[in-house]
Chain A
Amino acid sequence: MYRGLMIVMTITMMGCKKDLLDSTPYAQATSANFWRNAEDAVSAANALYPLLGDEMFFGHPEQAWDICSDDQWRSGDWGNEQAIEDFTFDASNDQLNWNWSLKYEEISRANAIIINVPKIEMDANLRNRILGEAYFIRGLMYWHFYKIYGQVPIITEENVISNTYNVPKATIEQMEARIETDFKEAAQLLYLQNDGTNTGRPTKGAAWGYLSKLYLYKKDFPNAILYGNNVINGSYKLLNKFSDNFNADIIENSEMLFSIQRHRGWTEENMATWYYAPRPWDGWGFQEPTDDLASEFEAGDPRLKATMASIGDVITPGPTGGPVVYTAGLNNTGHYFRKHAAFRVEGDGLDHDLDIPLLRTADIYLVVAEAKIRSGQNGDGEINAVRKRAGLPNVTNAKMSNLIHERRVELAGENERHIDLIRWDKANIVNIVAHYAINRGQWKPGRQFQRPKHYYFALPQRQIDLSNGVLIQNPNYK
């Protein structure tokens, strides 16, 4: 009897193979077996985009800086946003930290491509495009960092190789140089146009567009005009109809230099749509346009209705029932941004095919116009191109006031206004302190903007804590 048992035991013991402790990473690769070929490189480039639409990235917080402006009221119920809007926030405000590390994750994915893709044997054109995408995304992240915080730590491929991540923040000049270099590399490497299966990847035009904006911020007007004209004179034409920029059914859009692509059922839903749509219509009712913004539009400007809904408009929100009249009480201010919240023509609710716009050619027209006006040239051509598309009469000898008006109505809700006002305040074109102190009613009472403290937001306290003294807070937030 026990012999049988011994046999069972022996078999079991033999079953204990020598490599019992070797574990396999299933359905994943390691750096040893990745970066082999063009397919791997394309997959790595594809990883640059999914995060952009994350709820805590361009899905909401990265769009929410503009609640500081006079264009929109924060709405929603996030206490941290009230503090941002009212300029009473401190460094531990969550809004400051929501996507800090998401931006660096994008940078990390870009750095991995910049390090590894040059070593892959593959088609040179495709390799250039992939590297161009990586430089573009990295530049885009530093551009957003620059606008919000001014100075942040710069992490490049060299930091990855030397494994040094806890570094001091760069100077403003270093930030600008980094953005410039990355977008210039991207402009060099990217395609002029992508084919239909690659619609939505950045192009040379997108990189030129951001360069043009960077130079405007740096007050390097000749370069702003130079790169802006590259866009304007390229194939990145304004659409005939302004509202088609915010139409989910328009897939090929020459004007959309860069946007976050949404495809219902495959990508994440358009998180921004949830945030902007009215609560009773299945949205979350954040970021409502103010009456002050609505009154900025000239009579007959079709951009008003494309930008926002107002009381009395007829909309088909679905998912049950047909067209309904938009009434007071659906939102606090009596408006919501239609640019970000479309309803499906099928009548079954919010349209999650709607892309999230980040940069349009119309913006670049106005960048060039501003650079020209501020450098003593005439910017009428560019402003009027934008006005013409809106069916509005030309302006002549446009001044900054014309430009400021045009930017406000053309780009309302596209996260430009507050940062524009800061730029103009720095250039003594507007007085942001006085402008923000004006009481615009219950949804935009007067607020105390402190100059220069609020030119930049505070660096996230959490990141300062984690850096152990390496990351130094912005002035006036200490």
Chain B
Amino acid sequence: MSLPSMLKQVIAFVVCIASFQQAMAQTSVTGKVTDQSNGAPVPNVSVTIKGTSRGTATNINGVYVLSLQNGDAVLVFSSAGYETREIAVNGKSTIDVSFSISSTKLSEVVVIGYGSQSRKDVTGAVASVKGEQIQNLPVSSATQALQGRAAGVNVVRNGGSPGNTGSIRIRGTGTINNAEPLVVIDGIPAGDLNSVNPNDIASIEILKDASASAIYGTRAANGVVIVTTKRGNFEQPMRVSLNTYTGRSQARKTLEVLDAASLSLLKKERYVNDNIPVASEWNDPNNLVQRTDWQNELFGRGTTNNIDLSVSGGSAKSSFMISGGMYDEKGIITNSYFKRYSMRINSDHKIGNKLKIGQSLQLTRATDNSLNTLSSQDGLIWSAVRFMPFLPVKNSDGTWSSSQGSPNQYGDINNPIFTANSVDSRNTNTRLLANANAEYEIIKGLKLKANLGLDGNHYQGRSFNIIVSDQTRGNARNSLSNNFSESYSLLGEYFLSYSKVLGGLHKIDAVAGYTSQTFDGDYFSAVKRDFPNESMEQRYLDAGQNFGSINGNRTYDALQSAFGRFNYDFDKRYLLTATFRADGSSKFAPENRWGYFPAFSAGWRISNEKFFDVSFINDLKLTAGWGQLGNQNVSSLQYLALIGNVGQYSFGTNDVTGVAQRRLPNYLISWETAEMANLGLSAEMFNRSLQVNLNYFDKTTNDMLLAPPTIGTVGRLSIPDKNVGTLKNSGFEIDLNYNNKIGQVSYRVGGNAAFIKNKVVKLFDGNYIGSSAYGRMGQEISRTYEGMPIGIFYGWKTNGLYQTAQEISSDVNIKNDSRRTDGLIQPGDVRFLDLNGDGKITEADRTTIGSPHPKMVYGFNTDFNYKNFDLSLFFLGNAGVEIYNADRMQGIDPTYPFNMYAETLDRWNGPNTSNTIPRMTTKRNNLNHRTSDMFIENGSFLRLKNLSFGYTLDEKAASRIGVDRLRFYVTGQNVLTFTKYSGLDPELGYANDGNRQINVDYAQYPQSRSWILGLNVTF
């Protein structure tokens, strides 16, 4: 017995599912299902006997075996993505089926809220991504893998820190508040999809327009992502599938910084220019010796390892899928990691003829340590770029080097390698996501369904800060902070669905029901200080000598809703969908709790009209829809004036606590409403080899909840959100797919692109929304204004450098500026533009200097199959986007006691030596490095995101070693990047301030380039 088959038997025993040995029957039929386009076997095709519930599914090689009873006449072959075929048995014992290339998207079954629909009947905008497209990529989450897969679904990567999966923006940024879509996992609205093992996913549907998503009214304003995990099939022989890959990653690039000698040269030049004595440090010959490239020391080799195993199968009455997996990613920065263990049990059961029950259960435990790579005060990469190049990593006595020799000259930065090595922080999330559902057929066509769900999360965070005495940024007291929180959400849904065809032409589908979901949260955190012994085994709260703080509280929220949807199809030509949802949210005061969200859409299948006669168009459908969606994703209890503890004080040694109001109330707070219209055209052409999908949408978010910037006279009370803003997103989306075959090479090419415009129509009182400031100068970079997109770059305009004193004295921009007359502006300083014409450079001369929103977000992929080889390439990109390179703004600024970018050598040091890099000075009189268009860069990029090359063993060879299927592959991630952007990574995303600030370079953790070697075995 070969090893795999032995393993298979052991697993069969362990899982202990009711026997699904096939009952011996009088006759049986077998055969193989292949894809006509390339002859490849098609697994998981459902083969049922027409008119019964009996059936089976094809195995990994497309083979099925089905027992027949008397009277069984016709087999029905169906599978997602293929057109259903019916074939009469006629006494044959072997029936091979070739699914034609006409296997088109149109016959796919699309999962929509509270049901599913054939794609040809869909009147809303729904994108589908199949599980196989996103599997076995070296990413921790399906979120990352979704990037570039569907038009209008923009995954914004926020750097490349392990476990940081990015943000999903469907059809633009729909609100300045939380704009993440609702994620529904196996019917449970469940926050995010990062805990799901991507290899467990069967399909992801993205509901983009109002008509499609309104059934989730409350939380649908930012779109809905529906994740369906893999399940077993009835009558499916047991199948074991093993996936494993291992790989390595490394930094794509590093920033060029000055070497020790050049640094000294430039530092000295500053003093000479300023007429002050050169600090002695820069004449020290020891400081001319280049010792360390700090970025090379910080960036090492990362690794990614994944292994998962799934077992699935089914009898006539029960089916199951069990999987377990481990994903282990070590980042390119020392000590950064993300690790996830996951387990899943899904099963379905038929009880009698009318009742079906099923369940899904997911248990995951994910651990990471998020290193500080976002701070412009002490971020790790930020520090590595700036730390002195003449300092060694370690001194000759083995201690870490530091800038303590002269903090004023060498910068108050700690040795980044010391910091990376001494980080002791850990976040652990344990999640249980489970549901049980039942479906009972009351009368034919009328079903009662129930779905009960539980989403439990347990978070544990710890962070130990050691005593730092031999670095410039010291820490005299060590401390341990432990945080625990638990949240659990209970879901109950009950609904009726009805489906009926009347008179052959009128097809009706309706669903209506009730749902409620509660969200309970509980947390506490504790800090202790002064641990006499810092050894790892002593770093627990009991060992701390002094009490730091203890905090804890409880939260509760709930949603209650009624919903209904009605679909009508007349003669397969005219389609109509109407949806309605009423939602109550605990976030609002009783009077403003309920929101009502209607949506309508219609479709016209033009190609089914008798008059339609265009031979090369196989299918043509026009759809239009309109609807309203809600968003309640804001802080709770904002309608109350809350009074609570605001701080601790002592009178002598008498310790007291103060109590004060903490928030102004807004009793009127209520839903944000997004109103959306969609126009769509889908077509299949040229024998269905070309599929085109075009959509135009216009989405307006009204009553956007905004906390108006607090006028200082109010104090520090938190300001409640008010329903005052209006935001508009509109755009055009295109998806194209083409497949064909040349000789033995079959190929598919697909592409998608979205052109989306974002515009803030209304804020409050014509004012703006600010955002995080950069660095020690507190430099403002992003602002949000009416009439512009969210978070545009805001600063001064420049026109090169002053080359001569004469240019300064004659410059109209500063003709009334006292800094000119005081001699504070020198040749080599930046010429800022006086926009308001007062002859002075002031705050009032700031304006919009760039936009972080891409004009186009796109992706395209191409797959080739030749015999046993497969090759796929997947590209994605952004075009027409700008980045504010804040790291460079500080990186060429000589007034800081830091190392600088290598390009600073090209600075101005005499007339016409440079028109872009200002002179060396220690003074900030002209603020040469203030926020300006000098640091706006083109952020467009095109990435060969994935390249995968695989080889599948032929069937005979596979069976010789006892397996059904075996594939080896090599996959690369971020293989090539084409960009003009000078920073580490053009994908910067959101850093410190949510939607209010995008594409600002803080020297974030960059995405790495990785290669993996993988193996799939099925037996």
Contact bitstring A61-103, B, C-beta under 8 A = 1, else 0: 0000000000000010111101100101011101001001110
What is the CA–CA distance of A201 and B552 in the complex, to the nearest angstrom? 30
Tell me, rounded to whole Å, the shortest Cβ–Cβ distance linking A166 to chain B: 6
Tell me, rounded to whole Å, the shortest Cβ–Cβ distance linking A158 to chain B: 13
Is the beta-carbon distance between B556 and A24 smaller than 8 angstroms? Answer: yes
Is the beta-carbon distance between B765 and A5 smaller than 8 angstroms? Answer: no
Tell me, rounded to whole Å, the shortest Cβ–Cβ distance linking A473 to chain B: 10
Instruction: Report B-chain residues with C-beta under 8 Å of the C-beta of A90.
Output: 842-843
What is the CA–CA distance of A194 and B768 in the complex, to the nearest angstrom? 48
Q: Choose one: B440, B586, B659, B773; the contact of A46 (CB below 8 Å).
A: B659
In the assembled complex, B502 has its CB within 8 A of some CB on chain A: no
Is the beta-carbon distance between A23 and B469 smaller than 8 angstroms? Answer: no
In the assembled complex, B587 has its CB within 8 A of some CB on chain A: yes
In the assembled complex, A319 has its CB within 8 A of some CB on chain B: yes
Contact bitstring B762-795, A, C-beta under 8 A = 1, else 0: 0001111010010011100000000000000000
Total chain A interface residues with beta-carbon distance under 8 A: 102
In the assembled complex, B154 has its CB within 8 A of some CB on chain A: no
Contact bitstring A27-56, B, C-beta under 8 A = 1, else 0: 111110010000010111111111100000
Q: Choose one: A42, A44, A267, A468; the contact of B648 (CB below 8 Å).
A: A267
Is the beta-carbon distance between B355 and A5 smaller than 8 angstroms? Answer: yes
In the assembled complex, A1 has its CB within 8 A of some CB on chain B: yes
Known contacts A2-B440, A40-B659, A329-B406; is-contact A267 B776 (Cβ 8 Å):
no
Instruction: Report B-chain residues with C-beta under 8 Å of the C-beta of A199.
Output: 651-652, 654
Q: Choose one: B560, B647, B659; the contact of A16 (CB below 8 Å).
A: B560
Known contacts A23-B558, A350-B476, A467-B711; is-contact A285 B584 (Cβ 8 Å):
no
B residues 806-842 near A (Cβ < 8 Å) are: 818-819, 822, 824, 842
In the assembled complex, A465 has its CB within 8 A of some CB on chain B: yes
Is the beta-carbon distance between A105 and B711 smaller than 8 angstroms? Answer: no
Is the beta-carbon distance between B652 and A197 smaller than 8 angstroms? Answer: yes
In the assembled complex, B450 has its CB within 8 A of some CB on chain A: yes
In the assembled complex, B19 has its CB within 8 A of some CB on chain A: no
B residues 579-616 near A (Cβ < 8 Å) are: 584-587, 590, 593
In the assembled complex, B925 has its CB within 8 A of some CB on chain A: yes
What is the CA–CA distance of A80 and B774 in the complex, to the nearest angstrom? 13
In the assembled complex, B636 has its CB within 8 A of some CB on chain A: yes
Is the beta-carbon distance between A29 and B651 smaller than 8 angstroms? Answer: no
In the assembled complex, B554 has its CB within 8 A of some CB on chain A: yes
Is the beta-carbon distance between B643 and A34 smaller than 8 angstroms? Answer: yes
Is the beta-carbon distance between A466 and B404 smaller than 8 angstroms? Answer: no
Is the beta-carbon distance between B654 and A197 smaller than 8 angstroms? Answer: yes
What is the CA–CA distance of A427 and B661 in the complex, to the nearest angstrom? 43
Choose, from A106-114, A224-232, A233-241, A299-307, the stretch at the interface: A106-114
Is the beta-carbon distance between A79 and B648 smaller than 8 angstroms? Answer: no
B residues 371-409 near A (Cβ < 8 Å) are: 404, 406-408
Tell me, rounded to whole Å, the shortest Cβ–Cβ distance linking B321 to chain A: 23
What is the CA–CA distance of A44 and B843 in the complex, to the nearest angstrom? 40
Tell me, rounded to whole Å, the shortest Cβ–Cβ distance linking B820 to chain A: 12
Instruction: Report A-chain residues with C-beta under 8 Å of the C-beta of B553.
Output: 26-27
Is the beta-carbon distance between A77 and B896 smaller than 8 angstroms? Answer: yes
Beta-carbon nearest neighbor of A113 in chain B: B660
What is the CA–CA distance of A36 and B561 in the complex, to the nearest angstrom? 39
What is the CA–CA distance of A350 and B656 in the complex, to the nearest angstrom? 23
Is the beta-carbon distance between A23 and B643 smaller than 8 angstroms? Answer: no
Is the beta-carbon distance between B643 and A463 smaller than 8 angstroms? Answer: no
Is the beta-carbon distance between B843 and A91 smaller than 8 angstroms? Answer: yes
Instruction: Report A-chain residues with C-beta under 8 Å of the C-beta of B552.
Output: 27
Is the beta-carbon distance between A9 and B450 smaller than 8 angstroms? Answer: yes
Tell me, rounded to whole Å, the shortest Cβ–Cβ distance linking A100 to chain B: 4
Q: Choose one: B637, B654, B710, B713; the contact of A23 (CB below 8 Å).
A: B637
Contact bitstring B692-725, A, C-beta under 8 A = 1, else 0: 0000000000000000011111111100000000
For the side of the interface on B, what is the size category? 35 or more
Instruction: Report A-chain residues with C-beta under 8 Å of the C-beta of B654.
Output: 196-199
Instruction: Report B-chain residues with C-beta under 8 Å of the C-beta of A23.
Output: 556-558, 586-587, 636-637
Contact bitstring A184-203, B, C-beta under 8 A = 1, else 0: 00000000001011111100
Beta-carbon nearest neighbor of A1 in chain B: B351
Beta-carbon nearest neighbor of A450 in chain B: B818
Instruction: Report B-chain residues with C-beta under 8 Å of the C-beta of A252.
Output: 652
Is the beta-carbon distance between A100 and B649 smaller than 8 angstroms? Answer: no
Q: Choose one: A21, A108, A198; the contact of B585 (CB below 8 Å).
A: A21
Is the beta-carbon distance between B642 and A29 smaller than 8 angstroms? Answer: yes
What is the CA–CA distance of A399 and B1015 in the complex, to the nearest angstrom? 93
Q: Choose one: A24, A92, A266, A348; the contact of B650 (CB below 8 Å).
A: A266
In the assembled complex, A205 has its CB within 8 A of some CB on chain B: no
Instruction: Report B-chain residues with C-beta under 8 Å of the C-beta of A266.
Output: 648, 650, 655
Contact bitstring A201-213, B, C-beta under 8 A = 1, else 0: 1000000000000
In the assembled complex, B503 has its CB within 8 A of some CB on chain A: no
Is the beta-carbon distance between B712 and A460 smaller than 8 angstroms? Answer: yes
What is the CA–CA distance of A305 and B209 in the complex, to the nearest angstrom? 73
Contact bitstring B625-651, A, C-beta under 8 A = 1, else 0: 000000000001100111110111111
Q: Choose one: A21, A47, A92, A101; the contact of B584 (CB below 8 Å).
A: A21
Q: Choose one: A92, A105, A279; the contact of B715 (CB below 8 Å).
A: A105
In the assembled complex, A429 has its CB within 8 A of some CB on chain B: no
Instruction: Report A-chain residues with C-beta under 8 Å of the C-beta of B824.
Output: 88
Is the beta-carbon distance between B660 and A44 smaller than 8 angstroms? Answer: yes
Name, among B494, B659, B767, B818, the residue most crowded by chain A CB atoms within 10 Å (CB to CB): B659
In the assembled complex, A261 has its CB within 8 A of some CB on chain B: yes
What is the CA–CA distance of A50 and B715 in the complex, to the nearest angstrom? 14
Is the beta-carbon distance between A112 and B661 smaller than 8 angstroms? Answer: yes
Beta-carbon nearest neighbor of B554 in chain A: A26
What is the CA–CA distance of A414 and B467 in the complex, to the nearest angstrom? 31
In the assembled complex, B109 has its CB within 8 A of some CB on chain A: no
Instruction: Report B-chain residues with C-beta under 8 Å of the C-beta of A42.
Output: 656
Q: Choose one: B642, B646, B717; the contact of A50 (CB below 8 Å).
A: B646
Is the beta-carbon distance between A101 and B712 smaller than 8 angstroms? Answer: yes
Is the beta-carbon distance between A48 and B642 smaller than 8 angstroms? Answer: no
Is the beta-carbon distance between B407 and A279 smaller than 8 angstroms? Answer: yes
In the assembled complex, B679 has its CB within 8 A of some CB on chain A: no
What is the CA–CA distance of A47 and B516 in the complex, to the nearest angstrom? 40
What is the CA–CA distance of A349 and B276 in the complex, to the nearest angstrom? 35
What is the CA–CA distance of A261 and B659 in the complex, to the nearest angstrom? 18
B residues 643-690 near A (Cβ < 8 Å) are: 643-644, 646-662
Instruction: Report A-chain residues with C-beta under 8 Å of the C-beta of B715.
Output: 101-102, 104-109
A residues 286-320 near B (Cβ < 8 Å) are: 318-320
In the assembled complex, B472 has its CB within 8 A of some CB on chain A: yes
Contact bitstring B407-439, A, C-beta under 8 A = 1, else 0: 110001000000000000000000000000010
Is the beta-carbon distance between B643 and A30 smaller than 8 angstroms? Answer: yes
Instruction: Report B-chain residues with C-beta under 8 Å of the C-beta of A102.
Output: 715-716
Is the beta-carbon distance between A1 and B642 smaller than 8 angstroms? Answer: no
B residues 274-296 near A (Cβ < 8 Å) are: 276-277
In the assembled complex, A393 has its CB within 8 A of some CB on chain B: no
Is the beta-carbon distance between A461 and B897 smaller than 8 angstroms? Answer: no
In the assembled complex, A442 has its CB within 8 A of some CB on chain B: yes
In the assembled complex, B499 has its CB within 8 A of some CB on chain A: no
In the assembled complex, A357 has its CB within 8 A of some CB on chain B: no
B residues 921-936 near A (Cβ < 8 Å) are: 923-925, 927
Could you list 8 A-B pairs, sorted by A, with CB under 8 Å? A20-B518, A27-B644, A30-B643, A101-B713, A167-B713, A196-B654, A285-B408, A468-B767
Minimum-distance CB pairs A-B, first 3: A50-B647, A47-B658, A105-B715
Identify 18 new A-B residue pairs, CB closer than 8 A, beyond the known A5-B440, A15-B492, A77-B896.
A21-B586, A25-B642, A43-B658, A51-B647, A75-B408, A79-B776, A79-B777, A82-B924, A88-B925, A94-B773, A104-B716, A165-B711, A196-B654, A279-B408, A279-B472, A280-B407, A320-B469, A468-B767
- Which chain B residues have a beta carbon within 8 Å of chain A's beta carbons? 276-277, 351-352, 354-355, 357, 404, 406-408, 412, 438, 440, 450, 452, 467, 469, 472, 474, 476-477, 492, 494, 516, 518, 546-547, 552-560, 584-587, 590, 593, 636-637, 640-644, 646-662, 709-717, 765-768, 770, 773, 776-778, 818-819, 822, 824, 842-843, 895-897, 923-925, 927
